[in-house]
């Protein structure tokens, strides 16, 4: 299993399996909204008076975060299982998401992306993942400094995912002490958590942020600064961290920019 897999989380995983087995198999799916909501999603502010810095809260109205979605192993159904998080990034092909490399190391054959997913509902459709672009440093040795992936997403209903939900801008060489929002999907829940805090340097190549309850499933969660710009994703050191309250990311620099250019050229 990807992301922070330790004895601390085995009980969480057991509860997640139990909940999915008991969940109503007739989950409601909304396949495609014909109005793009990128402007709404990009308006998600970094300041949030209803929660404290570093304290996560669960959200069930995901319209502000439509560009963020759960990655499922299998279709969104009672047998589906979301295990990582991805976010749409702006690209010429309008078909690209960013996530952690360890989420897609084994390919995308059975994987689907559900932007804005909550409570068994996929309000913007369920999108099949297609081609993955990984850095050779990751594929050859799973170097944690290259734990980033860009993945193209197949069209749905004749439209590309970015045309429906919008896309974040890729941020390179941003300040390691930027204030960021992270919004991701713990595998034990069917709604995302969101949290705002200031990031910090963990090393020359890794960033760190303290936000509560980011357990298994939140790998690939985008670190969004300024409301519109992705400067990291949960991953890297210990595939994102060895405790749920502290998360890590590769510091997006030249290698991530080159990977993005490779991904956009092939999409």
Instruction: Calculate mean pLDDT across residues 122-131.
Output: 97
- 7-266 belongs to CATH 2.40.10.10: yes
Predicted confidence at residue 267, as pLDDT, reads 66
What CA–CA distance (Å, rounded) separates 46 from 182? 10
Task: For 161-186, write each residue's pLDDT tens digit.
Answer: 999 999 999 999 999 999 999 999 99
**Over 70: is that where the pLDDT of 243 sits?**
yes
Distance CA 145, CA 67 (A): 25
Q: Say what the pLDDT of residue 27 is.
A: 34
Q: Is the pLDDT of residue 28 over 80?
A: no
Q: Report the 10 Å Cβ neighbour count for 169.
A: 15
Per-residue pLDDT at 34 exceeds 50: no
Among 78-87, 103-112, 140-149, name the one with the lowest average pLDDT. Answer: 78-87
For tokens 């069209």, the residue is 155
Residue-level pLDDT at 240 = 85
The answer on pLDDT for 30 being more than 80 is: no
- Phi/psi region, residue 173 (left: phi>0; alpha: psi -120 to 50; beta: rest), is left
Domain boundaries, the chain: 7-266
Q: Tens of pLDDT along 186-215?
A: 998 899 999 999 999 999 999 999 999 999
Average pLDDT in the chain: 84
Find out whether 248 and 235 touch, Cβ atoms under 8 Å. Answer: yes
HEC profile of 44-83: CCCCCCCCCCCCCEECCCCHHHCCEEEEEECCCCCCCCEE
Reply yes or no on whether the pLDDT at 4 is more than 50: no
> In whole angstroms, what is the distance from residue 116 CA to residue 165 CA?
9
Q: What is the predicted pLDDT for the residue at 79? A: 57
Confidence at residue 239, expressed as pLDDT on a 0 to 100 scale: 87
The DSSP string of the chain is --SS-SHHHHHHHHHHHHHHHHS-S--------SS--HHHHHT--S--TTS-TT--EE-S--GGGTTEEEEEESSSSTT--EEEEEEEE--TTS-EEEE-GGGSTT-STTEEEEET-BTTB-TT--EEEEEEEE-HHHHHH--GGG--EEEEE--BTTB-HHHHH--BEE--S--TT-EEEEEE--TT-SS-EEEEEE-EESSSSEEEEE-TT--TT-TT-EEEETTTEEEEEB-SGGGG-SBTTEEEEEPP-HHHHHHHHHHHHH-
Contact 115, 165 (CB under 8 A): yes
């Amino acid at each position: 299993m990807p992301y922070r897999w330790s004895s601390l989380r085995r009980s969480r995983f057991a509860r997640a399996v139990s909940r999915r087995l008991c969940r109503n198999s007739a989950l409601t799916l909304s396949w495609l909204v014909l109005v793009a909501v990128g402007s709404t999603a990009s308006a998600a502010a970094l300041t949030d008076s209803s929660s404290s810095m570093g304290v996560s809260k669960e959200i069930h109205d995901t319209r502000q975060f439509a560009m963020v979605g759960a990655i499922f192993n299998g279709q969104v159904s009672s047998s589906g299982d979301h295990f990582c998080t991805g976010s749409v990034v702006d690209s010429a092909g309008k078909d690209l998401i960013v996530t952690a490399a360890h989420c897609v190391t084994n390919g995308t054959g059975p994987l689907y992306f559900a932007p804005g997913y909550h409570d068994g509902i996929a309000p913007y459709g369920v999108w099949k993942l297609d081609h993955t672009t990984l850095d050779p440093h990751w594929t050859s040795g799973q170097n944690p400094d290259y734990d980033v992936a860009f993945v193209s997403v197949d069209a749905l209903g004749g439209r590309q995912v970015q045309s429906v939900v919008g896309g974040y801008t890729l941020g390179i060489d941003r300040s390691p002490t930027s204030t960021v929002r992270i919004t991701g999907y713990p595998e034990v829940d069917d709604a995302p958590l969101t949290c705002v805090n200031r990031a910090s340097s963990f090393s020359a190549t890794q960033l760190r942020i303290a936000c509560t309850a980011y357990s298994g499933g939140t790998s690939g969660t985008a670190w969004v600064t300024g409301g519109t710009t992705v400067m990291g994703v949960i991953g890297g050191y210990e595939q994102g961290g060895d405790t749920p309250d502290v998360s890590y990311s590769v510091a997006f620099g030249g290698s991530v920019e080159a990977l993005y250019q490779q991904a956009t050229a092939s999409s």
